[in-house]
């Protein structure tokens, strides 16, 4: 599946992807179980972040085909929530600083961020979860940044 990308605003079709946050017991092998289940169904994971505590953890995932992942998680009985996440192509070391400065000027808060295993045109890609997704998308596109999307 190829991403959609944009450097100019395209109305309501601006690029985005879905981040799944799965809540589960923090037991040895739980994360591997999810990865094997996704691999078995040919759902490619392109971004992951794990936040743990003693008893529980939150696994955040970005996949190439979120609709299939959503159905799989429901069928398997996983407790999860989903939200839009911005996937920003990083064009050099200053990109992340520029992103943060742009979002700060608009008083947009970053909730979480992590690098993806997916590359676009040889550049790394950063997943950024913000509190004002629509405004952040418009702002970053206006600043000439390339956003990617995997919405189907």
In tens digits, the chain (152 residues) has pLDDT values of 455 544 433 444 457 899 999 999 888 988 999 999 999 999 999 999 998 888 999 999 999 999 999 999 999 999 999 999 999 999 876 678 889 999 999 999 999 999 998 888 888 999 999 999 999 999 999 988 889 987 55
My answer on whether 79 and 91 are in the same domain is no
Asked whether the beta carbons of 83 and 19 are under 8 A apart, the reply is: yes
My answer on whether 91 and 37 are in the same domain is no
Domain total for the chain?
A: 2
My answer on whether 143 and 89 are in the same domain is yes
The Cα 98–Cα 89 span in angstroms is 12
Q: Is residue 2 part of a domain?
A: no
Residues 87, 91, 92, 94, CA torsion sign: negative
My answer on whether 44 and 90 are in the same domain is no
What is the domain extent for residue 63?
A: 18-83
């Amino acid at each position: 599946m190829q991403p959609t990308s944009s450097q100019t605003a395209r109305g309501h079709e601006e690029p985005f992807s879905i981040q799944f946050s799965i809540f589960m017991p923090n037991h040895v092998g739980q994360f591997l179980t999810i990865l094997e289940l996704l691999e078995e169904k040919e759902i490619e994971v392109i971004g992951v972040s794990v936040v743990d505590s003693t008893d529980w953890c939150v696994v955040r995932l970005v996949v190439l085909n979120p609709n299939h992942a959503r159905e799989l998680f429901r069928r398997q009985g996983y407790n999860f929530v989903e939200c839009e996440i911005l996937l920003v192509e990083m064009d050099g070391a200053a990109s992340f600083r520029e992103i943060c400065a742009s979002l700060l000027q608009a008083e947009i808060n970053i909730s979480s961020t992590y690098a993806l295993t997916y590359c676009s045109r040889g550049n790394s890609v950063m997943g950024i979860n913000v509190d004002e997704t629509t405004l952040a998308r418009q702002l970053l596109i206006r600043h000439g940044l390339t956003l990617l999307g995997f919405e189907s």
